[in-house]
A and B are shown apart, each in its own frame.
Chain A
Amino acid sequence: MIVPLGHVLILAGLLFVAGLSGVLLRRNLIMILIGVEIMINAVGLVLVGASAYWRSPDGQLFALLLMAVAAAEVTVALALVVYLKRSRGTIDVNRFDGMQG
Chain B
Amino acid sequence: MATLLFYILATITLLSTVLCLTRKNPVHAVLYLVHALFALALLYFLLGAPLLAAWQIILYAGAIMVLFLFVIMLIEPPVAESRTSGRVIHWLIPAILSGSLLACGGALIAMDPAATNAIASYWMTPRDFGRALFVHYGLAVEVISMILLFAAVGAFHLGRRYRPTTKEDVS
**Interface SS majority for chain B:** helix
Q: A2-B6, A30-B71, A52-B122 are in contact. Are A37 and B159 (CB under 8 A)?
A: no
**Interface SS majority for chain A:** helix
Contact A34 B133 (CB under 8 A): no
Please measure, in the bound complex, the distance between the C-alpha atom of A85 and the C-alpha atom of B74, giving whole angstroms: 10
- Could you count the A-B residue pairs with CB atoms below 8 Å apart for me: how many are there? 168
Contact B47 A48 (CB under 8 A): yes
Residue of A with least CB distance to B58 = A67
Please measure, in the bound complex, the distance between the C-alpha atom of A16 and the C-alpha atom of B12, giving whole angstroms: 15
Contact A64 B133 (CB under 8 A): yes
Contact A31 B21 (CB under 8 A): yes
Q: Using a CB–CB distance below 8 Å, which chain A residues touch chain B? A: 1-3, 7-8, 11, 14-15, 18-19, 21-22, 26, 28, 30-31, 33-35, 37-38, 41, 44-45, 48-49, 51-52, 55, 57-58, 60-61, 63-65, 67-76, 78-83, 85-87, 91
> Which 9 A-B residue pairings sit nearest by Cβ, starting from the closest?
A72-B151, A79-B155, A79-B158, A57-B132, A22-B21, A85-B75, A52-B47, A55-B122, A2-B2
